[in-house]
Structure 1
Amino acid sequence: MCGTAGGTPDKIPFDVPYGATISLDAAKRLLAIAEAEAKKHDWKMSIAGVDTHGELLAFERMDDVQYGSTTISQNKARTSARCRRETRVYYNQFETGHAYVSTLDAGLVASPGGFPLVEGGKLVGAIGCSGGTGDQDAAVCKAAADTIK
């Protein structure tokens, strides 16, 4: 429900509490799930798993993926963890004329392919994928993120 200030929400969006960071083993399992999804479509990806602070836990670069995807996947995961939302949210804002998004943080990524990992209603990390189109990146990461409950 919105308040009286022209559509101002009563609650903060994406207000997911922070939980304990996923383990390294859990992060590796998520990367394996994402890699399997990418291989199913013959998509080459860089895949990054980060903790609740957006710091790297696990990383994988598939053979022959473009080199730029190494940093992009990590930045997508970092953005998703630190901002507690899918990176597509920023992409959608930017695409609809909200250019201010590019001024929020120099490391913020406004591109699909970063997903928060929410377990038991708490943020436990994030995963980021890069190498294909934004929708391909998102599909690969979503396959892994959806396994967290």
Structure 2
Amino acid sequence: MRKSVALIAAGLVLAGGSAFAQTAAPSAAPTPAPQPPYAARVITLAEAKTVAAAAEAEARKNGWTMVIVVLESNGAQVFAEKMDGTQYGSNEVALKKAHTSANFRRPTSYFQELVKAGTLNAIFTGATAVEGGELLLVDGKIIGSIGVSGGSAAQDGIVARAGQAALK
């Protein structure tokens, strides 16, 4: 009886091994950029307003309506605005994008690319994997993040990066 159980177990292991060998490897995941450190300070209200104004100017230039959220690096909200006519659902999406960038020290586009490549772990939670969340850096250190929602993912990303560039 023991010999039969051992043979069955061995057969299952061998059968399972060949099935794994035939599984196609997932697409290569994007290589993450080195994560910048958090700064000893957080973004000020004046800086947050500068970032939001630059983001809003880019949105208006393109005829887009957006929600723009600026957070401290610890995730506390500093500034938020909803442009007239922006869909209500964008309030929460912009906030989640800003939180994702601050919490994971990466732009949300990084997670979007992982999803496209099929390499984002199915049990991974807590990140919004849609472009439009960016880090706000001073001297290479994170002082906050911006999240933008209201257009397509690409449009949100353009507006968020315009806000991000205002600190340089």
**Normalised TM-score (structure 2):** 0.77
| TM-fit CA distance, 1:13 | 4.4
Is 1:63 the counterpart of 2:84 in the alignment?
yes
Q: Name the residue aligned to 1:18.
A: 38
* TM-superposition CA deviations, 1:47-79 (whole Å, max 9, x none): 000000122111000011111100000110110
- Runs of 4+, deviation exceeding 3 Å: none
Distance 2:50 2:118 in 1: 38
Any gaps of 5 or more consecutive residues in structure 1?
Answer: 1-11
Give the Cα separation in 1 of the matches to 2:35 and 2:82.
31
Q: Give the equivalent residue in structure 2 for 1:75.
A: 96
Q: Select which of 121, 137, 140 maps to 2:156.
A: 137
The answer to whether the 8 Å contact 2:70/2:98 transfers is: yes
Q: Which amino acid aligns with 1:110?
A: A
Pair 1:88-2:135 in alignment: no
Question: Could you tell me which amino acid in structure 2 is paired with residue 56 of structure 1?
Answer: Q
Inter-partner Cα distance in structure 1 for 2:82 and 2:34: 30
Quote the RMSD (CA, aligned, Å): 1.4
Matches within 5 A, 1:78-117: 78-100=99-121, 103-106=123-126, 108-117=127-136
The letter for the 2-side match of 1:26 is: E
Aligned AA (1:48):
V
> In structure 1, how many angstroms separate the alpha carbons of the residues matched to 2:166 and 2:49?
13
Q: Post-superposition shift, 1:43?
A: 0.2
TM-score (norm 1): 0.86
* Higher radius of gyration, 1 or 2: 2
Deviates more, 1:71-80 or 1:13-22: 13-22
Gaps of 5+ in 2: 1-31
1:54·1:79 contact (CA, 8 Å) conserved in 2? Answer: no
- The aligned counterpart of 1:122 is 141
